[in-house]
Structure 1
Amino acid sequence: MSIEPTTPTPPSVTVPAEALELLQSRLSTGRRFLLGMVGAPGSGKSTLARALCDHAGSAAQLVPMDGYHLANVQLQRLGRAQRKGAPDTFDSHGYVSLLRRLREPVDGVTVYAPDFRREIEEPIANAIAVEPQVPLIVTEGNYLLLDEPGWRDVRGLLDEVWYVEEDEALRLKRLVARHEQFGRAAEDARRWVAQTDEPNARRIEATRSRAHRVFRWGTGFVR
């Protein structure tokens, strides 16, 4: 498989040649490669993951961790709705089971994965079809490196994990804008970031040392 730089997708995102070259070397074995992208909310991990998959075309499939958000009805039942996005608001065991299936593709068997739709703030079952012949699977999410029950098996199921980071002020600005885009009032968006997203961000940043590589926007790989 060959991944060559193309017109950036989306238009504002250019995938660094260094990242493409590194990925190309990882795919030279001829077997399926599972790449994880992790970082604090608003760090741009989803953007980088999508851009890499766009460049790779049919040779790659994006499978976000966010498809394993618990449904809102379950969060209400468990009393966790105001902490949506925290580690215990996901079906981590379901996500681990999916990764195990993706590591061992079976000829003729399509694996269906859930996706998360921000416009309705709900996961959608079986929304992503992963065909067995796809050599590159990119998964992105907050807790790929978390060494806690329910999550600690994730890292070992991924061939490599890249930690993605962004200038802190820009990350926070982007995060507030995202919440506003999907319906929160400006003050509510800032409050949610301060009270919910940022405690999660500190937890995620504590896992940075467990990443195989660290990618910083505007700089490239710094480790």
Structure 2
Amino acid sequence: MQVTPQVLVRHIVDQYKELPENKRLLIAVAGPPGSGKSTLAYPLTDALNALILHHPPANPSHLEEPASNLVAESSDQQGQGDEVAIAVGLDGWHHTRAELDAFPDPVEAHYRRGAAFTFDLASYQAFLSQLRVPLTPESPAAIPFPTFDHALKDPAISPHPILPRHRIIVIEGLYTMLDEPGWRETAEMMDVRIWVDVDENVARKRLVERNFAAGLVDTREKCEARVDASDMKNGEHVRSRLVQPSYIFPSIEGQPSTSETFRLTA
């Protein structure tokens, strides 16, 4: 059946309300490169907070901001926050460039950075396991997690850790629903799985324009070659090895993601 984004938000909130008070709700948002995962995940997080709190959250989600541009909240500021949902990007679990240098083929590792094997899966698994531990008065005051610092070109610890009040965790990333050993187990830890689908030609166009504008290479031809060798290849890899999604979201050229519909698949 067809479900609007607003209805999806209500479905998730209803699911959250049925949770025991010591549990968290984990939501995966996955899709090929260029599909619009981030432009869905972060507004979704804010919408969840607004519906639960009955007002806009005190600390709206940060959309792909480099960690160096964020000002860490003091403990007093964190205590004044009220958001229940928080968004986390899988990109924070990229292996560092120094770690890639130690790979058997460092040249290939750097060129393919963004492929599943260039992520620190063990650290990501450990993070999810922490989120699955029931909340108690003795639970950690904060669970840190990494975010990708585009200025450093490496991960850095986010200044906005997971706090006990964060009962809904939205995790967006290419491999959050990958059906391969290790990754499959992390996907199965999710309570809700949202796949953002996109036409391959639309995704390629978006990626070329985005990467060329960012100055990653000096010619459009080089940019197209890199997108084809890395991003498009990674997207094909995930499409062919996908854990069953709960919802499929069609990302359409020229339409903002927040106005489109989800299709309930299970």
| TM-score, L = length of structure 1 | 0.85
Aligned runs of 1:52-131 on 2, under 5 Å? Answer: 52-55=44-47, 56=49, 57=57, 58-78=83-103, 79=106, 80-104=109-133, 105-106=135-136, 107=139, 109-131=141-163
Tell me if structure 2 keeps the 8 A contact 1:34–1:138: yes
Q: Which 4+ runs in 1 deviate beyond 3 A?
A: 105-108
- Could you tell me how far apart the structure 2 residues matched to 1:114 and 1:181 are? 26
Q: Secondary structure at the match of 1:133?
A: coil
1:22 paired to 2:11 = yes
Q: 2:224 aligns with which of 190, 195, 203?
A: 190
User: Could you report, residue by residue, the CA deviation over 1:186-214 in whole angstroms, capped at 9, with x for unpaired residues?
Assistant: 33321111011111111111134621221
Q: Secondary structure at the match of 2:193?
A: strand
Matched residue pairs, number?
209
- Could you tell me how far apart the structure 2 residues matched to 1:108 and 1:94 are? 18
| TM-score, L = length of structure 2 | 0.72
1:151 paired to 2:205 = no
Aligned runs of 1:143-222 on 2, under 5 Å? Answer: 143-184=175-216, 185=218, 186-208=220-242, 210-217=244-251, 219-222=260-263
Summarize the Cα distance change of 1:145–1:183 in structure 2 as closer, same or farther, 3 Å threshold.
Answer: same
Gaps of 5+ in 2: 50-56, 58-82, 253-259
Tell me if structure 2 keeps the 8 A contact 1:119–1:182: no
Q: Which has the larger radius of gyration?
A: 2
- Could you tell me how far apart the structure 1 residues matched to 2:158 and 2:38 are? 20
Report sequence identity in percent. 30
- Could you tell me how far apart the structure 2 residues matched to 1:19 and 1:197 are? 29
Q: 1 or 2 for the larger relative contact order (CA 8 Å, sep ≥6)?
A: 2
- Could you tell me how far apart the structure 2 residues matched to 1:189 and 1:211 are? 31
Q: Which amino acid aligns with 1:64?
A: G
Q: 1:49 aligns with which of 41, 45, 51?
A: 41
Q: Which amino acid aligns with 1:23?
A: I
Q: By how many angstroms is 1:96 displaced? A: 0.7
